[in-house]
Structure 1
């Protein structure tokens, strides 16, 4: 389907939205990034990691399946709400960047008024999910909104907007644990810190696609900040994330299968660093998306360790 029919330029070819969603829903589905599921998948992973880690500590054989499903629904809803909010705030910037000017608001598919209504509906869905957990988790989830609200403005005032994105995208590492225990401890805090560094790393790779347009529009990013040193800096970030995650496993006292899962994830991150090139946008996108299956391997290791 061509862009003239509303397809967003960086959406997966053959995605279900462009082919199967009703015509009236398609612009809103694109606004929520339902045609680009990698966003909610990366948001979901820290939730599932924390849920599995907490399950191990609590002595359960498996993570709470109901919690995993709720985290899935919440990740889709809140990722969609966050993208809608981000696109409302960034509509003028998006219009000046080749990769984003086809998005629903700058391309005229969705009005700002309707986007705001859609934002509220998605946020209410996320709130409904959050209210299924204990009150500590509810308060923790509400606290994340300050970080989410600040993120779209960070690219205008700091070279480290990916750090703020990491704070927001990794919040599930705290919620996933608190949903089980109604409190926090060292293990989820270390898991959260590692996930923040991981997010900065993979989003730096993602931002390599936009460096030239970002220079023109005055948009700041770690990709621009690191420049030719981006692969080395991403390597340092990934190394730091692995060390924090290892600390979380030590604090939780897990077994060897969980460690194997982490080792496989770390090996994949090292492969990303060795593979990435500054002048290959398609490769940068593929490496960015590869974090989903690699993260599932870590999750599987935590789950299997609980079974053993």
Structure 2
């Protein structure tokens, strides 16, 4: 018989909150927000100058990323509690296992949402991020409901994470970018890279629950097209990502992207290929390795190479 841990008798540990929101997975999106920050600060404005570097902006972007992601992840756990309890793979998560209570998680979610909106107000240099904060937060949280009505939920997640480069660009460059549409090329290409990349690896990850999703009426690519079909779609999504990386190398030239970033793109192509060899339709045993290790390496590698190119080479 499963025994739940009562929050009133055993206070939640800090590690419980980190586990609730899978804080380690921040490594996927945060490096792309950081790369967008570097690109936005090194790409010339229409006047020929570059935006001023301010530590306050960096802190604001960091706080916004952490708070927005934490709010969205906690909301996901709230709305999926009943589903997670039925799925053997997720039954040990914090809410169905009783490690945290719904009231606690609701408070945490609202606190993080307030922290996100407040960070745009207190740290960022213009009001555009504040205006966009509520719609962005609603879209991020909307992903948690998507699998109840569309198999495009994986794409929804990809687009949700891809908002970070766009929001960063808007935060750093403000009204300048609104006056010059051509200035949107670089952040839109980077956002598209993120969307295609996340969509592909989330489809692979969802293959673990293909049977469960089918049985419970949830929408996902593996449930709709089968695991083999899902892998084909994931491969196509990652091919699109690699093509867009080549476009980004061109679009980021005004910021300084060059040879090192080009080499990094080739390494990323190898990592993507490795991800698709670690897991196959009939062998999902190494899906966690493919999901975390490979994708974390991709995001960090692109950040490091892009930063060195733009700031030092």
State the match for 1:56 in structure 2: 42
What is the distance in 2 between the residues matched to 1:158 and 1:266?
A: 30
Q: CA RMSD, aligned part only?
A: 2.7
Cα distance, 1:107 vs structure 2: 2.0
Rg larger for:
2
Give 5+ residue unaligned stretches, structure 1: 7-21
Cα separation, partners in 2 of 1:287 and 1:67, compared to 1, 3 Å: farther
What is the distance in 1 between the residues matched to 2:276 and 2:63?
A: 32
State the match for 2:153 in structure 1: 161
Cα distance, 1:27 vs structure 2: 4.0
State which of 75, 78, 97 in structure 1 corresponds to 2:68. 78
Give 5+ residue unaligned stretches, structure 2: 6-10, 178-182
Cα separation, partners in 2 of 1:63 and 1:263, compared to 1, 3 Å: farther
Contact 1:51/1:63 (8 A) holds in 2: no
Is 1:262 the counterpart of 2:265 in the alignment? yes
State the match for 1:93 in structure 2: 83
Cα distance, 1:89 vs structure 2: 1.1
Aligned to 2:281, the other structure's residue is in SS state coil
For residues 193-236 of structure 1, the C-alpha deviation after alignment (integer angstroms, 9 at most, x for no partner) is 12111110011111122222222222221233342133332121
State the match for 2:286 in structure 1: 283
Question: How many residues end up aligned between the 2 structures?
Answer: 289
Contact 1:27/1:104 (8 A) holds in 2: yes
TM-score, length-scaled by structure 1: 0.84
Contact 2:12/2:99 (8 A) holds in 1: no
Is 1:33 the counterpart of 2:13 in the alignment? no
Cα separation, partners in 2 of 1:107 and 1:5, compared to 1, 3 Å: closer
What is the distance in 2 between the residues matched to 1:238 and 1:4?
A: 42
State the match for 2:180 in structure 1: none
